[in-house]
Amino acid sequence: MGGSALAGGRITAVIVDDHAAIAAGVRYWCEQARPTIELIDARARMANVWTGPGAGADVVIFDLELVPKNPAFGELRRLADYGRRVVVYSQHSDSPTVLKCVNLGALAYLTKTEGPEHLVPAIRAAAAGRPYTAPSLGGALAGDDDPGRPRISHREAEVLRAWFAASSKELVAARLRISVKTVDTHIERVRIKYANVGRAARTKSDLVTRALHDGLITLDELGAAPDPVS
Amino acid sequence: MSDQHRAVIERTTRAQLMARLRIGILAAGTGGLLLLSLPNMLRDWERYESAWAQACAFAMLAAVLCVEAVLVFRGRLAPVRWQWAAIGTVVTASVLSYAALPYGHAATAGDWIFGQANWVGLAPLVGRPLPVPLAFLALHWGIALTSMLLNTAADRATVLRFATGSIGVIGYPLCMAVTAAAFRGIARSAAAAKWQTEQVAVVEAAAVESHQRRRQRFADLDLSMVPLLEGLATGRLDPTDRGVQHDCAIEAARMRRLFAEVDVVPNRLLHELRHCADVADRKGVLVELDTRGQWPELPPPVRRDLTEAPLTVLATAASWARVTVVGGPDLVCVNVLADCGPVDLPRPVTPQVRLDTFRSEEQLWVEVRWQADASPR
């Protein structure tokens, strides 16, 4: 999996969504993206994600609610455990659902009000095995008061809140007088911390291992030592 | 104002009204015990079958009077349980005293308990419905009668002595019991009157307070709204002027917030923000409102500070606005991003609230942040 993306080839993604219009819309965005993303429509059947052309896709775009009022957390867990890179694309925006998906190993969580400006970068990031944090997810992380949440620094919380408020990294960077890259680093560090306290899955170990290797975060920051702020 | 409170008022009113009557009966009982019963008992000391039984009965009556005295001087009504205990003690003392009376002594001066136990037993029963003291007096008289019939020859002289004695023994306490019963009715209506007075006072105080609150709210509007309305009425302000339109939109949003402030809803801040957003929505501005996290109930001045700047931005937005709220136990951040021209944002009044603005070309980004500990960041 992910071979084509790593080799610099075209990214392939498979979408599982019971709304034909969503699949068609995402297909259009993928075709318009430069470079283009190849989209396979699983036609709302999980079997098409595991077998056939969908099995080899770099990224799974996953509608959490294939069956109304019954979020498919189990399917998400199986995908993450198998090492599939999942972008959840859902109409739910409530924090518990969002945070649970992140905890289960989804690399991105987007609400359906978030369009191609977030979905396309999310697919690209996921294809490279990196997390993507859309504004709605940033807000959920900033407002998380679960006792088991990781400690995030004052600056990281500030960046998350600003990202949620502005939906534009350029604006966040300009307001906080930092570079867009620094904004990204802060957000990604939070995601690594969350991945580290999340349940063990292949995506988690990949994420954390690479973040440590890249020097994005240190073992101390991941460990028990909490930040002295917020 | 609960039923419990009402019961307390009734109890204290009754205790106050009954106090003097109870003191009177207590004095009669105590005086009789020390000035009549004690000398009579001591005079016949040698003739009693068991003088110690008489002393014991005397002590029991004295004990009942003592407890009753404590209750009266503490301004408390006799609790029902104590009343039963007191009557039990008085009746036991009577039976004990009569049992130790030598043959032929009933209804003589040595029969001190006949004229004494009635007053002692009556004292704790003041305030009970009339049948209760009547039943006690009847029981007391019955015990004395039984003793007289069993323990004397019941000759004409004895029966006459008993009959004349009974007039005083039953008659005077009966007068007191009837008076006390009348007092009981008076006490009840006094308590009801007092309760009503208190109710009226509470309603009045609430009315004064809400009037003051209303005046305060109107005063808040007075500063900005009245000049605007006057300007429009006199023609000094032009309704087609954009600035005037903005001012009107801001005042409309303030009024909407004012109306929303009195609503009882789970999350007041969000409720008030929704009302502010609605004003922009009605103007055709596309408003997104997104919230994350949970925060405690904030006091009205803090909520006003948190909504004032967003309200102004929303009311002057040209086509779109994004409002986000992120909260936690000690931090609430309200952010508004909108395409609006220059606006004059009022500074927060409460020290825990901070306002930050950032402008990038046509976009205005305002953050209002409440921090529980008020430490400047």
CB contact under 8 A, A143 and B324: no
Residue B120: name the closest of B78, B159, B160, B149 by CA.
B78
- At B52, the pLDDT band (50, 70, 90 cuts) reads confident
List, in order, residues 6 or more apart from B1 with CB less than 8 Å away: B198, B199, B202
- The phi and psi torsions of A32 (rounded to 5 degrees) equal -75, -20
Q: What is the mean pLDDT of chain B?
A: 87
Q: Are B112 and B66 in contact (CB under 8 A)?
A: no
CB contact under 8 A, B290 and A136: yes
Interchain contact A96–B (C-beta under 8 A): no
Interchain contact B210–A (C-beta under 8 A): no
Residue of B291, B328, B360 lying closest to A171 (CB–CB): B360
**Chain A hits for B326, Cβ within 8 Å:** 139, 142-143, 161, 164-165
Interchain contact A153–B (C-beta under 8 A): no
For residue B67 the two structure tokens come to: 């407890």
Note the pLDDT of residue A78: 92
Interchain contact A139–B (C-beta under 8 A): yes
- At A127, the pLDDT band (50, 70, 90 cuts) reads very high
pTM, to two decimals: 0.63
Residues B358, B347: Cα–Cα separation, whole Å: 15
**Chain A hits for B288, Cβ within 8 Å:** 113
- Nearest-CA distance B226 → chain A (Å): 35
Q: Are B20 and B98 in contact (CB under 8 A)?
A: no
Residue of B328, B335, B377 lying closest to A165 (CB–CB): B335
Residue A114: name the closest of A133, A139, A134 by CA.
A134
B161 vs B366: which has the higher pLDDT: B366
* Residue A11, number of CB atoms within 10 A of its CB: 23
CB contact under 8 A, B360 and A93: no
Mean per-residue pLDDT, B249-270? 84
Residues A111, A22: Cα–Cα separation, whole Å: 12
CB contact under 8 A, B293 and A145: yes
Residue A138: name the closest of A176, A183, A173 by CA.
A183
Q: What is the mean pLDDT of chain A?
A: 86
Q: Is A201 left (phi over 0), alpha (psi -120 to 50) or beta?
A: beta
- Chain A interface disruption, residue of B323, B324, B371, B377, most A CBs within 10 A: B324
SS3 A2: coil
pLDDT of residue A57 exceeding 70: yes
Interchain contact B359–A (C-beta under 8 A): no
Note the pLDDT of residue A3: 46
Residue of A142, A167, A174 lying closest to B326 (CB–CB): A142
Mean per-residue pLDDT, B108-114? 80
Note the pLDDT of residue B2: 65
The predicted-structure confidence for A137-193, as pLDDT tens digits, reads as follows: 999 999 998 888 888 899 999 999 999 999 999 999 999 999 999 999 999 999 988
Residues A4, A177: Cα–Cα separation, whole Å: 38
Residues B267, B303: Cα–Cα separation, whole Å: 11
pLDDT of residue A11 exceeding 60: yes
* Residue B354, number of CB atoms within 10 A of its CB: 18
In one-letter notation, the amino acid at residue B168 is G
CB contact under 8 A, B292 and A174: no
Q: Specify the residue for token string 């909520």.
A: B303
Parallel, antiparallel or unpaired: strands A11-16 and A59-62: parallel
Mean per-residue pLDDT, B96-102? 85
- CB-based burial label for B293 (10 Å; 0-12, 13-18, 19+): buried
Interchain contact A2–B (C-beta under 8 A): no
Note the pLDDT of residue A1: 46
Note the pLDDT of residue B376: 47
**Chain B hits for A164, Cβ within 8 Å:** 290, 292, 324, 326, 335
pLDDT of residue B377 exceeding 60: no
- The phi and psi torsions of A18 (rounded to 5 degrees) equal -85, -5
Residues A71, B89: Cα–Cα separation, whole Å: 76
- Nearest-CA distance B252 → chain A (Å): 25
pLDDT of residue B374 exceeding 60: no
In one-letter notation, the amino acid at residue B45 is W
Residues B40, A70: Cα–Cα separation, whole Å: 95
Roughly what angle, to the nearest 10 degrees, separates helices B156-234 and B3-31? 150
Q: Are A179 and A173 in contact (CB under 8 A)?
A: yes
Residue B82: in which H helix or E strand, if any? helix B80-99
Q: Bridge partners of A37?
A: A11
- Chain A interface disruption, residue of B292, B334, B357, most A CBs within 10 A: B292
Interchain contact A78–B (C-beta under 8 A): no
Interchain contact A136–B (C-beta under 8 A): yes
* Cis, bond preceding A53 (omega within 30 deg of 0): no
The predicted-structure confidence for B309-341, as pLDDT tens digits, reads as follows: 999 999 889 999 999 999 988 999 999 999 988
DSSP annotation of A132 reads: B
Note the pLDDT of residue A8: 59
- Nearest-CA distance B321 → chain A (Å): 10
A132 vs B44: which has the higher pLDDT: A132
For residue B328 the two structure tokens come to: 């936690």
**Chain B hits for A167, Cβ within 8 Å:** 322
- Nearest-CA distance B365 → chain A (Å): 8
Q: Are A108 and A130 in contact (CB under 8 A)?
A: no
CB contact under 8 A, A145 and B294: yes
Note the pLDDT of residue A223: 67
Residues B162, B25: Cα–Cα separation, whole Å: 23
- At A200, the pLDDT band (50, 70, 90 cuts) reads low
The predicted-structure confidence for B196-211, as pLDDT tens digits, reads as follows: 898 899 999 988 988 8
Residue B364: name the closest of B308, B321, B304 by CA.
B321
Residues B369, A162: Cα–Cα separation, whole Å: 12
Ranking A73-82, B176-185, B344-353 by mean pLDDT, the lowest is B176-185
- Nearest-CA distance A68 → chain B (Å): 23
**Chain A hits for B365, Cβ within 8 Å:** 165-166, 171, 175
Note the pLDDT of residue B37: 87
- The phi and psi torsions of B353 (rounded to 5 degrees) equal -105, 135
- CB-based burial label for A38 (10 Å; 0-12, 13-18, 19+): middle
Note the pLDDT of residue A110: 94
Q: Are A59 and A53 in contact (CB under 8 A)?
A: no
**Ranges of H-type helices in B235-298:** 242-261, 268-282
CB contact under 8 A, A95 and B292: yes
